[in-house]
Structure 1
């Protein structure tokens, strides 16, 4: 059987996957210990890849052509429309934190994806219904003519339905996205050299599925929206999301699932609180005296999750200082005493903050491609031959096609 169990000593469970010191147990869909013969591997990860490809297909088609719908159908101004689109896209990525929290603390990856996948699907369906029914939209008018000044902006119930549908999509997609790649990675035993190689292959396949899904969205699905109407386009996005959920559910019996292990934010907060409480303490000259140092852990207890102390952000090391009470060491709570590994994980998190900050500038520029560039393309003469017009999203597939190749 395949068990990654918590342990204070060696685990003699034959045929299993044991990681000593980690509070991780992989189980099947019934909660029983997973079997490496029947669960996990690329076969199980392929179902997750299906969800990833179909989900990005649906959300990318909506997000990249949303400004056209907001202006032409909802009759918002260009500036308001740009804000609506960027707020929607930003909400999707911000809610990834919520999805990760719910997965780690309460639901697990599979149930988080399944529940919020249906939330996203309901948003697509509601968008399609509103785009199809004239009574749920402002009166039709031609914004490109002199009559555009008399166009009525969506207000009241019509605006409410639109924003509810839009943010149902944002909530669902935001909570699904961070769990797709992690649930796929959970199908591989990282301690096995053979499985580790397959894990690397899976990450490449995951990015390829993402790129192909977005490329199809920005070409085929946007073409459908342009020539068959936004109601049909939103309906196709809903169908793509439904296909992704079917793919996810089809792999239920072969998944390796990691049960919720608690909030990832709690250990981070504990390190900062403990470091602040002990800010006046002096770190020992010998780092091996810190709580949880590797020198105090038997060799057969060491694993990949046990980290060595580094000299960066040394003020956080004070969270590992043990308070002496005479000749004995008082028992301290996790909010006043942390391990070296716990502190090093927080140091690593702080180290990637500059990388995260750089992506803010990149996404600020990318937002122009999804808003003003689309409207600029709409105002251009896109006729290449008598029978062929370049789609207004001609520039959007270019980065995706280059990255997927």
Structure 2
């Protein structure tokens, strides 16, 4: 919900408040949204390999909140934004955000993107880990969980695209960013409140380690000559057949 409200009304803030040209503002928003959708690969990798879904969501949840707070502070303080002017008027010569002001904006924006992108792939999977697939009753509840989760996402999107966008339009983007930060904080509190009850799937280690081992083995043995007698090969069908015959004769 928090990220949806920011993404859909961000171009207004970038154009009207930060005074970036419309083409550049559109490019900034496009890059921001694209980053959010590509970072789930990183979030899933970190979760599966090192931290697990719970700790990944917790850590990057605080990263996202930090970004929202920075955006809210910048939108509230005139010292951190360019002087006010009407970008739609040709008479006004608006100053584009540069230097320290632009750096704060981009750091805050991509903290939000980093946090949101790494949380996305872990929300559904963390909930699914709480069900035992071997249990028939819990297996049925799992499908209900997926439906409920998707319905909740849709409700959150609806609230973000209506109420939060209205708040941003009427009260300013500073309040809107603040509401997003509060919503994110409430979500993290709900996550932490069930910490002792979760069934956490342990990380499996880096997926690149076995791939690297295979590549290293292939490179190190690339000059070895394949034996002419296939019976000497470990795991060959002929070798396995002979062992099976020997075992049968002993019985």
TM-score, structure 1 length as denominator?
A: 0.54
Report if aligned partners of 1:141, 1:147 keep a CA contact under 8 Å in 2.
no
Tell me the residue number matched to 2:108. Answer: 165
Structure 2: distance between partners of 1:328 and 1:90:
53
Deviations 1:215-263 (A, max 9, x none): 1000000000000010000000000000000010011111000111112
Q: Does 2:231 correspond to 1:327? A: yes
Q: How does 1:205-284 map to 2 (within 5 A)?
A: 205-266=148-209
The answer to whether residue 86 in structure 2 is matched with residue 142 in structure 1 is yes
Instruction: State the distance in 1 between where 2:228 and 2:35 align.
Output: 48
Q: Which runs of 5+ in 1 are unaligned?
A: 1-56, 279-322, 332-405
Q: Which has the larger radius of gyration?
A: 2
Deviation per CA, 1:291-336: give whole Å up to 9, x if none: xxxxxxxxxxxxxxxxxxxxxxxxxxxxxxxx997534449xxxxx
Among candidates 20, 24, 27, match of residue 76 of structure 1: 20
- Find the counterpart in structure 1 of residue 57 from structure 2: 113
1:127-164: CA deviation from partner (whole Å, max 9, x where unpaired): 0000000000000001122334x001100000000000
CA–CA distance in structure 2, aligned partners of residues 226 and 79 of structure 1: 22
Q: Which has the higher helix share?
A: 2
CA contact (8 A) 1:103 1:179 kept: yes
2:122 paired residue number: 179
Partners of 1:106 and 1:325 in 2: how far apart?
Answer: 44
- Residue 129 of structure 1 is matched in structure 2 by 73
| Greater than 4 Å deviation, 4+ residue runs | 265-278, 323-326
Query: What is the TM-score normalised by the length of structure 2?
Result: 0.85
Q: 1:156 aligns with which of 74, 99, 115?
A: 99
1:279-298 equivalence runs, <5 A: none
| Structure having greater relative contact order (Cα 8 Å, sep ≥ 6) | 2
Q: Alignment RMSD, CA only?
A: 2.6
Of residues 134, 140, 159, the one that matches 1:191 is 134
